[in-house]
Structure 1
Amino acid sequence: MLAYRPFFVTCGPARGSLRMDGTVLAPLDWLIIVALLGFSLLVGFLVKDQASEGGVEGFFTAGRKMKWWLLGTSIVATTFASDTPLAITGWIAQYGIAGNWFWWGGVLGSVAMTVFFARKWRTSGVVTDVELTELRYGGPAAALLRSVKAFINATLVNCIILGWVFAGMSKISESFMDWRWLLGSELYTALAAVYPDALLFGSFDNTLTIAVLLAVTLGYSALGGMRAVLITDLVQFTLAMAMSITLTVIAVSQLGGLASMWDTLATLYPSDGSATDMAGNPYLTHDRVAAFAPDFGEGVVGSLGIPFSAFVLTLGVMWWSNGIIDGSGYISQRLYTAENGGEAEKGALWYSVANFMLRSWPWAIAGVAALVIFPRADVDLAARQFTECLNDEQVCTAEMRQCLDNRYTCDIPEYALLYRDQGTLEQDGLAAMSVVAGAPAYQQVPVFREDRERGYPAMIRELLPAGLMGLMLASLMAAFMSTVSTHTNWGASYLANDFYARFVNRRASAKQLTRVSRVATVAIAVLAVVVASTIDNIGAMWELYGGMMAGLGLPHLMRWLWWRANAWTEIAGMVSGFSLALINYIAGQLDLLPAGQISLFPPFMASHAIHVICWISLIAAVASMLATMLTAPVDDSLLREFVRKTRPMGIWGKYAQGDFRPERNFVESLLYFVLAGTSIYAGMFGVGYALRLETATGLGLIALSLLGLVIVVRGMGRIDRVL
């Protein structure tokens, strides 16, 4: 049995001075958090009259008067969820900086959406992306397609995403929000006793935090609609970005600067792999942590966990075969709000630049710093000692008991990176304890395990003084609210515009539609809470969603690029993708698949979820093409009207002549796509090289990036100068 070792972190202020009667947060921290929540509600009240003008048009498109910097920042704010820095912190420990390739591949799809489709969404004049189906196709099939897609997006898609976001917020609030202290033990106990366990997000404290944030978010988004969402997104993103940079700067400064951080990382995780956990498994080496290129070696520590073929498919297929390739969803919802097509296009480009070149690097460096501030060997030792303490009271120290009794007053920093689970003493390398604990080595017992995602909130707790801690928590709450407000507003737009206004009451007044929109916003949030709290495996749900969306990638491209596409093109793709994804999901959940298979496809076809999604997209693409050729084309008058409004690129023949030709031809747009994508990747890696202290390479790439982006902006803006 290991002797107890005192735990400490050598950097950061003493937290004891920050506590107030046993809570982590100081009065100033609470004041800052309350101020943020109050500001958000105030915005909703200030713009509620404007949101009430124009029915669903005014409520969900903010009057279509927004500038590029506001709508683009709002898109970035939505993707800046509170769970994102936690996920990246976990990836850094498991895969190194190269783990960001899980989303870096999205550059291509984001740029394609910007160059080919952003302008078209604004000029289409629709309120939701599913409304476009009737504008493009017309007829009963299009009406059916519109209603089904609206239902899926408003319910399933929202619940998957919000479930992930709720889980991330739970990990953040866990170490800070002591509701028993805030409410008093009597009231806290009474509320906990009546709250249904089925709707808990980890713990009752976490659930109360999410409930308060959700109530505030619903308040301003239901009152002020999209206008309130855009304004609060701007403030929330500015605060969140500023504080993520602040935390990273403080963490690196406490380690003596970037050079010292990289040197210490090399000492803790040497290249020879000699640093191992208690079971002898090697940690990720420092050179793999710092690498930008992924490792695909089988069994190599730090490999992305996917075959090389799956990685190639991610960059070569998945970015365009996904249903959001044209901006469908909450991104297009922002593009509708633009003052004109040019503002929509510039806003989409700003989103691509900010999302990939700027946003992720503070988190990546913070993730590296967390590996130094909380060395993995120390956290593993803490997990072992706390597991021993749980199973044998005699080995517990007073400090360990304090942590187990009240995590808010725990003085062992590594405890913040642990979570309770069930395991066996033998499985967790504690077989010798069975003699002491009086239990067989194979018996299920409570154990502690490391969760590197918790390293991010742990650094907040350890490094930030009063005031800054409150600002940091407020920024993460702001990130949470910006994501939730978008998805509740987006989901409500389907219920109000694509169900009520389309099928229930086509003569509804603007006042009635605004009221329905507000009720729908609340209804979507309640549904999300109920469904999200029942999701056990987020990864499996994302694979389900990915498979469903894989059936819509090609149809969504075809509707903009080829006159022959019709409603059955999308219906065939949607039904194929949905059916295959659902069958795979159910078979996996019920353990109906043969040994060695992860899907209906045999192992030689699909050894990873990315393979499965790509096969679904291929099958759905074939189904879409067959449906297109076997059914009648869209009526000429509808096609002419669609081309008149959107002036799409691609193959439109007689429909795109004279004044109806696209503002920019396909070849020119393709050149801007290549240049913009290359520029963003150059800038993204340029920032990374600079932070890795390879200054010359970094600055050179950044300079090339800026030059390329200037050319793209000036070239794409030529349309507006001519018009």
Structure 2
Amino acid sequence: MRSSVQAVDYVVLVCYLLLMAGVGAFFMRFMRLGSDFLKGGNRVEWWVAGMASFMSGFSVWTFTGGAGFAYRNGVIGVFLMSLAVPAFFFGYIVFAKSWRRSRVTTVVEYIRSRFGDGTHKTFSWLTGPSQLMFGSVRLFALSSFMSIALGVPVEYLVVICGLVVLGYTSLGGYWAVCFTDMFQFMFLFPIACMLMVLSLSNVGGFSSFVAQAPPGFFNPFAGEYGWLFLIVYTISQTTGYNNFGNAQRYFCADTEQSAKRIAILCMVLFTIGSVIFYLPPLIARVAIPELGTAANGLRQPSEAAYIAMGLRVLPPGMVGILLAAMLASSMASLSAHNHIITGIFAKDLYQGYLRKDASDRHMLVASRITSLGVGFVMIGVALLFAQGTSGIFTLLFILESMFLIPLGLPLLYGFLVRGGPWWSAVFAYAIGAITSLFVNFYLNRYRGMGLNETYLIGIPAVTTTIAFFLPVILFKPTGAFAERVNAFFKKLDTPIDTSTELGESGFSGRGQLALVGKVTTGMGLACFLIVLVSSPGRDRLITLIYAVITTAVGLAFVGAGRTPKTDDAVPKGTEVGLATEE
């Protein structure tokens, strides 16, 4: 697979990593308080947060396991991504507004507001280490795949990628996390569109692709998956996309209206992206039918479907952009994990129990140190995995099945009902986690039943839901806990008052547009250098088209970020203040 990766592709990858590190240094100037670091002072524009939310839904699995699933099973693979659309629809109608009005800094802080200190302590110590493990496994998975593609030792890539994520996250906080994700979107989306078009052209167009596809390839229910799987996976997506990293995008917005716009934007992006990102691996089934059995270093050879189509149709230089885009999407997920864990340890545990009177300036330092510590631990654990730890992907799946549904569902249910004792969420989590372990280890491993994702996700979802609502039906909140619950829902009924609840913005909305435009324009202009070293003919034309499109998009953002001229003269010396207000 790495035979088609040339020197120019490595140069592109190095330049991309340097750009991401530079973003963190740029946003360091906006870090004045702990709230700036952890939630951007609620001043990151909704369209930036929306694109960041879209990007944080990606990981190396999207381009390997997800692509391989589509290659083997056909069009149902598209549903793996498109089911994020109903998930964000639920976010739009319920959870976006609720998360913003909760007025929290971290998800775990919401647990304290809604369920009390006992549940807060339990979930803090469950969530922090588990998210740290998830981040470490994803860093190792990313490095393993890129090692196969580039021929670079896994350990080197773990350290390089880990340090880049650690650098921009610890320097620029939430601002850097969102804007690096935004730039990664600008890097990923154009090359993904181009790969889709070139893949279709490679097999003679869409009608030719349909004619050559295997029987049942476009029937989403031809295999072992059906309507029940889609329902269960929708529950999983709804739980995942309205909790933790994506919930952070909601409660870090300036108003609930902006939070809902984030959900709408994600619905649009996932609707379009489902086709753009999963059409190439579907086409690979026709263009490269032997891929499913060809040894390439991956656990399942078909997991190379996406990059294999890239190597097949993209010229040198553009392959480097594709690899950088895949790297970008995975780093977006890693930076989100780092920031979530930092918030839990710094805000919920350190300030919550050790330094309750810590000032905002002190919390900025504490958050930055915590972010550094989290990053180094993630790198260290990923290096341990690289030394030969076996079954790591199985471990990741088991851990996610223990935490995503059993932990995530009670948190969402807490927004919907007022009843139940303080321990209802803990009880629901315990039952769901035990059920998950029972299904994974006893039914599948010991009894050899071979249950697929429909049951691995669905059974814990059912038991978690029953375990949450049973105490809600049987018990009512009493005493101090009842007062806490009433106070929490009173906050949910109170709209955000931007005049009193938001501080001054050091970076205006137009300034954010202009920054995105300048960086994107720079990326496009840099691509013209690749044009110069491309082979004449088809390769040079493809690279030129990409460079022109990227530059044009960047210039459009720059134009949108300009302060509009008015008929009235602007007094000298007031420009900065006006830019801040916009």
Which bracket does the TM-score occupy, shorter chain normalised?
A: 0.7 to 0.9
Opposite residue 646 of structure 1, the aligned amino acid is L
Match of residue 78, structure 2, among 88, 95, 100? 100
- Residue 476 of structure 1: CA displacement? 1.5
- Residue matched to 1:294: 221
Matches within 5 A, 1:330-409: 330-355=245-270, 357-376=271-290, 380=293, 383=294
Task: Measure the CA separation in 1 of the matches of 2:240 and 2:19.
Answer: 35
Which has the larger share of helix?
Answer: 2
- Residue matched to 2:244: 329
Q: What count of residue pairs does the alignment treat as equivalent? A: 488
Cα 1:89–1:510 shift into 2, 3 Å: same
Cα 1:352–1:169 shift into 2, 3 Å: farther
- Residue matched to 1:216: 164
Match of residue 432, structure 2, among 577, 598, 616? 577
The answer to whether the 8 A contact 1:80-1:479 is kept is yes
Q: Helix, strand or coil for the counterpart of 2:23?
A: helix
Task: Measure the CA separation in 1 of the matches of 2:161 and 2:138.
Answer: 15
Task: Measure the CA separation in 2 of the matches of 1:473 and 1:582.
Answer: 36
- Residue matched to 2:373: 523
Opposite residue 310 of structure 2, the aligned amino acid is I
Task: Measure the CA separation in 1 of the matches of 2:470 and 2:210.
Answer: 56
Deviations 1:194-248 (A, max 9, x none): xxxxxxxxxxx13312321111111001100000011111110121111111222
The answer to whether the 8 A contact 2:37-2:173 is kept is yes
Opposite residue 25 of structure 1, the aligned amino acid is Q
Deviations 1:70-110 (A, max 9, x none): 11111001112233122232112211111333454443333
- Residue matched to 1:706: none
Deviations 1:633-653 (A, max 9, x none): 36454344323321189xxxx
Matched, 1:40 2:20: yes
Match of residue 196, structure 2, among 239, 248, 258? 248
Opposite residue 427 of structure 2, the aligned amino acid is A
The answer to whether the 8 A contact 1:564-1:633 is kept is no
- Residue matched to 2:6: 25
Matched, 1:418 2:418: no
Matches within 5 A, 1:503-652: 503-531=353-381, 533=385, 534=389, 536-539=391-394, 541-552=396-407, 555-585=410-440, 587=442, 593=446, 595-597=447-449, 607-628=451-472, 629-630=474-475, 632-633=477-478, 635=480, 637-647=483-493
Opposite residue 13 of structure 2, the aligned amino acid is I
- Residue 323 of structure 1: CA displacement? 8.3
- Residue matched to 2:54: 76
The answer to whether the 8 A contact 1:42-1:220 is kept is yes
Cα 1:37–1:321 shift into 2, 3 Å: closer
Matched, 1:476 2:326: yes
- Residue matched to 2:149: 175
Task: Measure the CA separation in 1 of the matches of 2:9 and 2:66.
Answer: 26
Task: Measure the CA separation in 2 of the matches of 1:129 and 1:236.
Answer: 25
- Residue matched to 2:118: 144
Cα 1:319–1:93 shift into 2, 3 Å: closer
Task: Measure the CA separation in 2 of the matches of 1:612 and 1:255.
Answer: 37
The answer to whether the 8 A contact 1:323-1:556 is kept is no
Task: Measure the CA separation in 2 of the matches of 1:474 and 1:132.
Answer: 36
Give ranges in structure 2 of 5+ residues lacking alignment. Answer: 496-582
Matches within 5 A, 1:703-714: none
- Residue matched to 1:133: 111
Deviations 1:271-330 (A, max 9, x none): xxxxxxxxxxxxxx2x42233x222xxxxxxx1x34x5xx42641x66458883782211
Task: Measure the CA separation in 2 of the matches of 1:63 and 1:512.
Answer: 16
The answer to whether the 8 A contact 2:96-2:259 is kept is yes
- Residue 581 of structure 1: CA displacement? 2.6
- Residue 529 of structure 1: CA displacement? 4.2
- Residue matched to 2:33: 54
Opposite residue 644 of structure 1, the aligned amino acid is K
Task: Measure the CA separation in 2 of the matches of 1:549 and 1:213.
Answer: 25
Bigger shift: 110-119 or 221-230? 110-119
The TM-score normalised by the length of structure 2 is: 0.76
- Residue 557 of structure 1: CA displacement? 4.1
Task: Measure the CA separation in 2 of the matches of 1:587 and 1:493.
Answer: 36
Opposite residue 474 of structure 1, the aligned amino acid is A
The answer to whether the 8 A contact 1:118-1:335 is kept is yes
Matched, 1:89 2:89: no
Task: Measure the CA separation in 2 of the matches of 1:169 and 1:97.
Answer: 28
The answer to whether the 8 A contact 1:322-1:546 is kept is no
Deviations 1:550-600 (A, max 9, x none): 3346533442222223421112111222233345545479x5x3x4546xx
- Residue 514 of structure 1: CA displacement? 2.0
Matches within 5 A, 1:198-277: 205-263=153-211, 265-266=212-213
Q: Helix, strand or coil for the counterpart of 1:83?
A: helix
Cα 1:535–1:78 shift into 2, 3 Å: farther
Q: Helix, strand or coil for the counterpart of 1:564?
A: coil
The answer to whether the 8 A contact 1:548-1:581 is kept is no
Task: Measure the CA separation in 1 of the matches of 2:312 and 2:238.
Answer: 42
The answer to whether the 8 A contact 1:325-1:556 is kept is no
Cα 1:50–1:620 shift into 2, 3 Å: same
Matches within 5 A, 1:189-200: none
Q: Helix, strand or coil for the counterpart of 2:297?
A: strand
- Residue matched to 2:228: 312
Matches within 5 A, 1:401-480: 418-419=296-297, 451-480=301-330
Cα 1:645–1:579 shift into 2, 3 Å: same
State, as a whole percentage, how many aligned pairs show the same letter: 22
Bigger shift: 36-45 or 492-501? 36-45
Bigger shift: 361-370 or 619-628? 619-628
Task: Measure the CA separation in 1 of the matches of 2:298 and 2:37.
Answer: 45
Rg: which structure is higher? 1
Task: Measure the CA separation in 2 of the matches of 1:474 and 1:480.
Answer: 10
CA-based RMSD of the aligned residues comes to: 3.1
Cα 1:551–1:29 shift into 2, 3 Å: closer
Cα 1:536–1:120 shift into 2, 3 Å: same
Give ranges in structure 1 of 5+ residues lacking alignment. Answer: 1-8, 10-14, 19-23, 180-204, 267-284, 296-302, 384-416, 422-449, 599-606, 650-723
Task: Measure the CA separation in 2 of the matches of 1:36 and 1:132.
Answer: 36
- Residue 48 of structure 1: CA displacement? 1.0
Task: Measure the CA separation in 1 of the matches of 2:352 and 2:54.
Answer: 31
Cα 1:165–1:455 shift into 2, 3 Å: farther
- Residue 485 of structure 1: CA displacement? 0.8
Deviations 1:527-547 (A, max 9, x none): 434555246152454244324
- Residue 496 of structure 1: CA displacement? 0.5
Opposite residue 513 of structure 1, the aligned amino acid is M
